Amino acid sequence: MGKVKFKYYPNVYEDNVIAHVEGVCQCCGRTVNEYIESMYAVEDVDCICLQCVSDGSAAAKFHGSFIEDADPVSDPEKQDEIFHRT
């Protein structure tokens, strides 16, 4: 599988936001070597693979988001992409 691309975060691999160790994604159950260690959700989440972030399945499963505060976005599709798939 190639690198996951995020429309509104093109430099995610250059920033220090991805854990580069082995873990098991709490959303899909796959063993992965790159993952996000947190999201804003009621449940404690500490391993979400990049695929589950980008396709929105983690946000849906945990009823959470990856951005806590941002300027209001009037376009619902853009808001969903930014908060639930970035």
Could you list the beta-strand ranges (E) of 3-80: 23-24, 31-32, 35-36, 48-49
pTM of the model: 0.89
Taking residues 40-60, what's their average pLDDT?
96
Tell whether the model's pLDDT for residue 1 goes beyond 80: no
Work out whether strand 48-49 and strand 31-32 pair parallel, antiparallel, or are unpaired: unpaired
pLDDT-wise least confident of 19-23, 48-52, 59-63, 70-74: 70-74
State the average pLDDT over residues 42-57: 96
